[in-house]
Chains A and B, each alone.
Chain A
Amino acid sequence: AQKVTQAQTEISVVEKEDVTLDCVYETRDTTYYLFWYKQPPSGELVFLIRRNSFDEQNEISGRYSWNFQKSTSSFNFTITASQVVDSAVYFCALRLYNFNKFYFGSGTKLNVKP
């Protein structure tokens, strides 16, 4: 069975702190895709990044970075020098190759205080 676990329900940090959002996934498939989405208070989820199971290279985009480790089935997301605008709910998602199914975690609510 497939599953995505985001164990951190809610995190609060003060502006300029670094914060890491954890994502652990379960699948027996060898080909799959992982995604991170951001859901601001306005409601719509916004795509941040995708990774396929054959690409374990970590990625940095500005203040955002992602650490994909197949050995621990984790795809963690770090925000460096957090800002108030980063406050949102962040979702990790898994999609299997050739299946029309998407598995989302329950989300981590990030509160960045000034």
Chain B
Amino acid sequence: ETGVTQTPRHLVMGMTNKKSLKCEQHLGHNAMYWYKQSAKKPLELMFVYNFKEQTENNSVPSRFSPECPNSSHLFLHLHTLQPEDSALYLCASSQDLKRGNDEQYFGPGTRLTVT
């Protein structure tokens, strides 16, 4: 089983749809992250969870709603998105948020297209 999995890998949705992205990590990590990757831009950190508690929300619009039911699963619920939200959404995990030198393990991402 690969370390961090994401489903679906590709998603096309209309602006009025509601969909969810799922991330699962099999590494026993306690911290999980959502990133947005747009073409030729730096990765944008969206949300951070540590032991299921949200510790960071980088001014992300409310049309993106995260959920972390346990340390292994992370969801990103999407509703009434805009075309500019089209991007690659990456999930990552690390051992413990308090250990600053921990590397992150990334999933393959969900390629989202908003029409």
A30 to chain B, nearest CB (A): 13
Interface locus among B36-44, B62-70, B73-81: B36-44
Complex-state Cα separation, A93 to B100, whole angstroms: 12
Check A102/B45 contact, CB under 8 A, given A50-B101, A52-B101, A95-B100: yes
Chain A interface mostly? strand
When the two chains form their complex, are residues B56 and A101 in contact, meaning their CB atoms are under 8 A apart?
A: yes
Interchain pairs with CB closer than 8 A, number: 57
A50 to chain B, nearest CB (A): 6
When the two chains form their complex, are residues B101 and A47 in contact, meaning their CB atoms are under 8 A apart?
A: no
Check A106/B40 contact, CB under 8 A, given A43-B88, A98-B100, A100-B97: yes
* Residues in chain B within 8 A of chain A (CB atoms): 4, 33, 40-43, 45, 48, 50, 55-56, 58, 88, 90, 92, 97, 100-101, 103-109
- Using A46-B106, A52-B101 as known contacts, list a sample of 14 further A-B pairs with CB atoms less than 8 Å apart, ordered by residue number in A: A31-B100, A32-B100, A33-B100, A43-B88, A44-B4, A45-B106, A47-B104, A97-B100, A100-B48, A100-B97, A101-B45, A101-B58, A104-B42, A107-B42
